C-alpha cells in the first residue's frame, strides 16, 4: 500500500550525503596519493523565493566570515562547494556546504566545531 502511494506521488527523492562518493583519491603534484573525505560542514534552509541562489549568498558569506568558515576555506582542498536540494516538506530549498578534508582535518573539525 505504501509503495503504491509513493509511486503515485512521482516525487524525486532528495539527495543526501550518502548518495555520493564520500572518499576521493587524488594525486598531488609530487605524485603522491591523497585521500580526501567529502563532509557537509554547514546547512542552510531557504524558503520558496524567486531566486534562491541570490538570496542564499548572504548567509553563505556570513558563514564564511565565522571562525568555522574561515578554517574550512583555508583547509579544504579543493575549494568547498555548495549544493542546492529541493526540500519537498517545506516547499523550499536546502543548501549544503561541502568541504573536502583529509582524515586528520576531519577529526580536528569534528572535535573542535561539531
Cα 49 to Cα 93: distance, rounded to the nearest angstrom:
9
Contact 109, 102 (CB under 8 A): no
**Residue 71: DSSP 8-state:** H
Nine-digit cell string for 62: 556570513
- pLDDT for residue 33: 79
pTM value > 0.85? no
- Comparing C-alpha atoms, which of 65, 70, 75 is closest to residue 108? 75
- pLDDT for residue 61: 95
Q: Within 10 Å of residue 112's Cβ, how many Cβ atoms?
A: 10
Which residues pair with residue 81 across a beta bridge? 98
Cα 78 to Cα 100: distance, rounded to the nearest angstrom:
6
- pLDDT for residue 49: 87
Segments of the chain with pLDDT less than 70 = 1-21
Question: Scanning the structure block, which residue is given the C-alpha cell 516525487?
Answer: 11
Mean of the per-residue pLDDT values of the chain: 82
Amino acid at each position: 500500500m505504501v509503495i503504491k502511494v509513493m509511486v503515485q506521488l512521482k516525487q524525486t527523492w532528495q539527495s543526501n550525503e550518502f548518495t555520493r562518493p564520500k572518499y576521493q583519491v587524488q594525486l598531488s603534484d609530487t605524485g603522491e596519493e591523497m585521500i580526501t573525505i567529502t563532509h557537509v560542514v554547514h546547512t542552510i534552509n531557504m524558503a520558496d523565493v524567486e531566486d534562491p541562489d541570490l538570496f542564499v549568498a548572504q548567509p553563505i558569506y556570513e558563514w564564511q566570515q565565522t571562525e568555522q568558515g574561515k578554517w574550512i576555506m583555508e583547509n579544504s582542498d579543493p575549494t568547498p562547494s555548495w549544493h542546492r536540494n529541493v526540500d519537498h516538506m517545506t516547499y523550499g530549498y536546502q543548501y549544503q556546504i561541502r568541504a573536502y578534508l583529509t582524515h586528520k582535518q576531519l577529526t580536528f573539525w569534528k572535535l573542535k566545531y561539531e
